[in-house]
Amino acid sequence: MKINIFSIPIYATTIDVNEIRINHVDFVKTWLSETESSHNFNNEVCPDSTKYLLKNVSDLISEDIGKPHRLHLKNIWENHYKENDYQDRHTHPMSHFSFVIYKKILESHTLFFHPADKLLQSYYENMELPIFMENFKPDLKQGQLLVFPSFLEHMVLKHDHSETISGNILIELLEKKI
């Protein structure tokens, strides 16, 4: 018998990136990496875009939530990666799930870290066991949506000339009606 405990799902699907429209986007060099981004909490998304995005996210994660719920888009922003741009290791606090839409990109450069990667390193030095992998780089392309738990530490590796849309989602559990 095999029992998976503490597994961490990530989800991916193909979407129409032209359906995601963000209004009032100003780009500034952001974070330590100085990647051009519209990251702020004031970006507005067209209502149809929000509906389209949340439906796609819901289609991916709802079965695993397993309770009646409603999804809320907490915030959304675009990143424009120029020559050798990247993002440092980070998480997305105060949200349940986060996402990346690969708007204009040849391949994904997102790298996830095992939540216990430092512990694994201290126990399994110089061992490459796939069952205890320390990081994971999904193989995704332009037009794909990646959804992951917001606590999952990740980064964006150095690369050139691409655009992504990222954001955060909150889950509201709904009471069952008797």
3-state SS track over 29-88 = EECCCCEEECCCCCCEECHHHHHHHHHHHHHHHHHHHCCCEEEEEEEEEEEEECCCEEEE
- How many Å apart are CA 40 and CA 27, to the nearest integer? 10
How far is the C-alpha of 47 from the C-alpha of 4, rounded, in Å? 38
Give the pLDDT of residue 128.
67
Residue 14: band (very low, low, confident or very high) from pLDDT cuts 50, 70, 90: very high
Percent of the chain with pLDDT over 90: 69
> Reading across the β-sheet that carries 85-90, which strands appear in turn?
85-90, 154-159, 110-113, 135-136
Which pair of structure tokens corresponds to residue 4?
């998976």
Nearest CA to 84 out of 156, 2, 164, 135 is that of: 156
Q: Mean of the pLDDT values across residues 12-30?
A: 90
pTM: 0.92
pLDDT for the residue numbered 127: 61
Residue 15 predicted with pLDDT over 90: yes
Mean pLDDT within 40-58: 89
99-152: per-residue pLDDT in tens? 999 999 999 999 999 998 888 777 776 666 677 788 999 999 999 999 999 999
- 91 falls in which pLDDT band (50, 70, 90)? very high
How high does pLDDT run on average in the chain?
91
